[in-house]
Structure formats: structure tokens, C-alpha cells
Amino acid sequence: MKWLLNMNMPRSLKQLLESVGHQCRHTGEIGLERASDWVVLEEAAREGEVILTHDLDYGRLLAFSGASKPSVVVVRLSRPTPKNIFERLVAVWSTIEQPLIDGAIVVLEDATVRIRRLPIRLEGLEVKQ
């Protein structure tokens, strides 16, 4: 898997992911440390990467864009240390790998994993103005 770690992810997580064969970049290492969420989404989509973040905004942006890529993993752990994030990803890998390949928003919590496949269809929803 190819990962793009958002600025709020520890850089040391990159080494852990690479140690098990993943390709990984950190936004702070490629000049995107101050980039908007849209720019990070576009970069990840262009490079075929999955965004790893704590930021809930990526899910909202993807939902309203109708896009099917990039996939996003939102980390919502009570103790989000690099080791805990890595171990949780490894523990649920068989569940999340294919959805991430296909296009999904995955919310990674201590005891649960929520998967929302992309694109998110908003037809039939009433929008109040």
C-alpha cells in the first residue's frame, strides 16, 4: 500500500509502515506541511496513496465531492502513539485492505473499525438552505 501521512501523524510511523513493505510519504517531507486538505487529497489521488490522518475533514470533503479516491484512514485511538497506530492497522489489515484499494473512508477506533465505501451517494438527501 502507498500511504500519505498527514501533518498530524507522527513521522516515526512512516518507518514502521515501511518496515512491513508499505511505501510511505509524510506531507511535511514533500512540501505540503501547510497545504489545504483539498491539495493533500489531490496529491494522494494523483499518486495512488491512502491518506492517514486524525482529521475528520477529509471524510467530509470526500463525501461531498462524490470522489471514489483517495481512500482515507481516520485514526481515533485513545492513545495514538506511532506504535499503537501501527499495531491497530496491522490487527485490522485483512478487513481494511480491499476497501482501501477500492476506495473507502476507514475510521480506526480502539475497539471498532468503521468502513464507508466511496463514492458516497447523497441522492435523495434533502439539503436545507
pLDDT of residue 123: 57
- Report the candidate in 38, 118, 32 with the shortest Cα–Cα distance to residue 73: 118
Q: Collapsing DSSP states into helix, strand and coil, what is residue 5?
A: strand
Map grid coordinates 514502521 to a residue. Answer: 16
pLDDT of residue 59: 87
pLDDT of residue 122: 61
pLDDT band at residue 127 using 50, 70 and 90 as cut-offs: very low
pLDDT per position as a tens digit, 58-113:
988 988 888 999 999 999 999 999 999 999 999 999 999 999 999 999 999 999 99
Distance CA 21, CA 31 (A): 24
Domains of the chain: 2-117 (3.40.50)
pLDDT per position as a tens digit, 12-31:
999 999 999 999 999 999 99
Binning the chain into helix, strand and coil, the percentages to the nearest 5 are: 40, 20, 40
